[in-house]
Each structure stands twice: as C-alpha cells, then as structure tokens.
Amino acid sequence: MFGKSLRRPIWTGSEDDIEAKAITESNVQVGPEQGHGVVQIVDSHEENDLSRSLSQRHIQMIALAGAIDSLSALYNLHSGKYQHYSPSPDPFFVRHAELLVDPSLGFAIGWNVVYGTYLSVPSEISAAVVLIEFWTDKYAALWITLFIIVAFLVGIIVVRVYGEVEFFFATLKILLVAGITIMGLVIDLGGVPGQQRIGFRYWNNPGPFVEYLASGSWGSFLGFWAVMNNAVYSFAGVESLSVAAAETKNPRQNIPKACKRVFARVSVMYILSVLIVGMLVPSNDPSLDDESGTAAQSPFVTAAARAGISVVLSIINAVVLTSAWSAANQSLLAGTRILYGLAIKKQAPKIFLRTTKWGIPFVCVILQTLVATLAYMGLSNGALTVFYWLLDLTACGTLISWSVILFNHIRLHQALKKQGISSQELPWSNWWTPYSSRVALVACIMFLLTGGFSVFVEGNWDTATFISSYLDIPIVIIAYVGWKLFKKTKILSLDDIPIQNALKKIREKLEERISLARGWQRLNILWG
C-alpha cells in the first residue's frame, strides 16, 4: 500500500539514487542552476507518482464553489492563465516564482503557503465546532476528533474521492446561494403574507456604512475598511484549484475552462446576493452584532426569521458547516501537495516524497493531520477565539501569496516583451490582465500593510492582534534572504525566463482533445 506508485515502484533504491534519477528523468529542464540544481517545470515524480483522477466536472465545480466562498473569480482568471501550461503539485505561483523571478522566492513562498494551509485545517475545524454549537455545545472534543479523522480519510484515499466529496459540497453551496437569493427577493418585494414591501429603503436610511473606532465619515470609512480586511480570509483557498492541476485529467484544457467559465457565473451570483442582502436588513440592525459565528449572524437569516421562515436558520447553518469541512479538505490537499513539491526540489526532507500506490503523498498527509490537532486548543480557549487567532495568521499569508501571483504575472509579460514573444502564443491570454495585475498588486499590498490597522487607533493597541496581523511578513523575508545567502541564488534576467521551453513542452506533449457538449449536456451551465 505505502511507498508504491500505481504505475511503478518508486522506492527501489536509496533515497539519494531515487532523487538523482528523478532529476535526470525530468520532462523539461530549464533555467540556470542558481546554486541549487536545475529548475524544472514538471518532474518525473509529478508525472509518474501522482494520479490524474479529477475530471472536468470535478475541477469546474471546485472552481465554482471556491469562488462562491471567496468571491474571487477575477483572481482565478489571473492565476489560471499560466498554470495550465505547467501543471504541478506546487501551487502555480510557487513554481513560477522560481521560473519567473528567483529560486529563493519560490522557497520562501512555498514554505509560507505550507505554513498557511497547515494552519487553515485546524482553523476550519474550529469554525465547524462553532457552527455545531448552534445545535449543541456538548461533546466538542468528539466533534473535533471526528472532523480530523474524516479530513485524514479524504486526504489519504484516492484523489477522486476528494473530487466527489468536493463536487457534492459545491452543489450544496450553489443551491444555497440560489435559494437564499430567490428567498431574499421574495421577502424584499413583499411576497410573504403579512410582510410589507421593503424595496431600497435601507439604502437611504440608515445607509450602507456603520461607524467603527471613530465617528463621522472617518469612522464610516474605518468600518468599511475593517470589513474589507476581514473578507481576506474568505478569499483564501481558491489556490487549491491550481494545486489540483497535477492530478487533473487534461489540465491544460480543464484548468482554463474552469477559470474562465466561473467568472461570469459567480459575478452574477455575487452581484445578486450582495444587492439583495443590502435590501433586506438595515446596516445598524442589532442582529448584525451577533458574534456567535453561526448562521444566526447572517442577514439572510434575520430577514427569514422576521418573515416567519425559521427553518432557514438550520439549513444555512448546515450548508455553511459543510463549507467549513470543504475548506479543510481543500487546505489539506493544497498543503500536502505543496510540501511534496518542495521535497522534489530538495527544499524539504526527502521522506515527504513517499506516496501510496494510489499516488497520495501519505507522509505529507500524516504531518498535516497532526498539525490539525491544534484545533483542540479550542477546548480551553473557546473555539471561536482560536478560530479568529488562526484566521489572522492565515490572512496575512494569503495576501503575500496573492502579491507573488500578481508579480509573477507581471514578470511573465515583461519577459514575453523582452524575448519578442507574442502573448497570443500562450494557450490562453487576455489583453487586459497585465494592467489589472498592477492594480491588484497595489491593492494586495495595501491590505497587507493595513491588516492590523485597528491597533494603531489611539487607545486600541493590542499586542496579540499586531503580531498575528504582521508576523508572516518578517517570516517570508527571513526565509527568502536566508535561502538566498545559503544557495547564492540570483534574480533571473528577463532573457533567462524559460518561456520557449514551456511552449515547446506544450507542442511536444499534446493532450487528448475534450469533446464538446452535445444534446441536453449543453443545458448544463455549471460544469458542461
């Protein structure tokens, strides 16, 4: 079971022999050695040891559900643009940071993502326990144990099981968004007996903004900015779509399709849901001060309860519970595959290269499961307190990762221009993304530097908040500088970025073309 590949045994010699063989068998070797070995686009371990079991419907629904959680379809467009031509178990930006910027940046951001994803699993388990407290506050330790066991089983079994689980959860989330949007519209238009039509009255009185830490327009702005910063956590996790590329059938076709199609679909759902939720409940409604962490604090629930539709509370809480479970699964998949990718590049211990006969890096899964036991801290400190603590730590790492993604994309287009290669030669390109990447990079840096802005308001200093908001910044800088000094790497010149080698790989290894939808399948707007 353990230590074998489905197609060939991988532990037939010493670890040093195996690693040397992996380098010589690599599909494409590109870039200068930079003091730590040749940078490779796709390694033989990735080609032979991981199982490509995720189909088009899996990857499309994972993308759609992840974007619904994060409301970040635009981000998907930026990231998917170049992951499809070098699918690997690293998240695209880790491998591409090496290929487009500096091998040391790939090391630093790789370990940063491992740190973030490993912490995300216990934070999501803590969130799940908070949601369960809506029904019962008993047996918290039992619930934590069950979630850890289930997450381990999903992570250790064939990746197709993960795909099916996420497909089911994605379907629930999409149905929930559609259902509460329709319900909210009916309530707002006075479609519930005994309820008056609400319309847009709350947009004028009291208005959309609530004061925070100050009064007047400045307090309203701080309230808006606090919400924007808190929303960062909800954006985390869509990277799992690209991490799964190495285990996806025909990734160069399915990844771009998933990224492109999700944009319009999520934009419609996002705009409608935000529009309607702003119509249902006034911004100063006392119910919005609910800090239980359950569905009780949802304005949709507040509106439904006042309309006499009490069952909505349990339904939303149940689906949000599956969402927390889904997020834990995605973090476990991402964390284990990233650590596996680092081990391939000798940036992590070799033991993490071990895989099961189904292509699962089981040592990575075991380690992440052990880290998940941090969720037990909630038994003494309160699950919600621990959740918010871990939330702050991972939010900072998310913004750093996104900044690297955008910088990679900018470097890609700079290299294309320098080498005289048209962006149209890429399998997928958009004329506007070079400009939007710059705007988004500035926005990410602004959010990163203001993540803990509340502690700088007079009389509001909190050491724990300051550390959790900014700790990740020096960690990444130290990792980058340390690896650079240790391996003596250099920032790649634009001429040395191996774009032609990547395009050559595409031409040499064509995928089987996916057949177009026919008949009734054309009516499938979700993953067809």
Planar angle of CA 400, 119, 328, nearest 5 degrees: 105
pLDDT in tens, 290-310: 666 666 677 878 888 888 887
Model confidence at 32, in pLDDT bands (50, 70, 90)?
very low
Q: Higher model confidence: residue 26 or residue 289?
A: 289
In a domain, 433, yes or no: yes
Q: Dihedral of the CA atoms 18, 366, 235, 206 (nearest 10)?
A: -170
State the amino acid at position 109 in one-letter form. I
Asked whether the beta carbons of 243 and 334 are under 8 A apart, the reply is yes
Rounded to 5 degrees, φ, ψ at 92 are -40, -40
State the amino acid at position 357 in one-letter form. K
Tell me the CA distances in angstroms from 196 to 88, 186, 200, one per residue in order: 55, 11, 12
Q: What is the CA radius of gyration of the chain?
A: 23
Structural domain of residue 376, as residue ranges? 15-513
The pTM score is 0.76
State the amino acid at position 229 in one-letter form. N
In a domain, 527, yes or no: no
Q: What is the pLDDT of residue 151?
A: 87
Is the N-terminal amide bond of 256 cis, ω within 30° of 0?
Answer: no
The DSSP bridge partners found for residue 4 are 9
Model confidence at 476, in pLDDT bands (50, 70, 90)?
very high
Average pLDDT over residues 30-38: 39
In a domain, 10, yes or no: no
pLDDT in tens, 376-408: 887 877 666 676 666 667 778 888 988 998 999
216, containing H or E segment? helix 216-230
In a domain, 378, yes or no: yes
Can you read off the two tokens belonging to residue 289?
């001060």
* Burial class for 347, CB neighbours closer than 10 Å (0-12, 13-18, 19+): buried
In a domain, 100, yes or no: yes
Which of 265-279, 379-393, 437-451 tops mean pLDDT?
Answer: 437-451
The domain total for the chain is 1
DSSP codes of every residue in 432-445: THHHHHHHHHHHHH
- The CATH number for 486's domain is 1.20.1740.10
In a domain, 168, yes or no: yes
In a domain, 54, yes or no: yes
How far is 450 from 389, CA to CA, in rounded Å? 17
Rounded to 5 degrees, φ, ψ at 337 are -70, -35
The DSSP bridge partners found for residue 2 are 356
In a domain, 411, yes or no: yes
pLDDT in tens, 145-158: 999 998 898 888 86
Q: What is the pLDDT of residue 71?
A: 33
Percent of the chain beyond pLDDT 90? 18
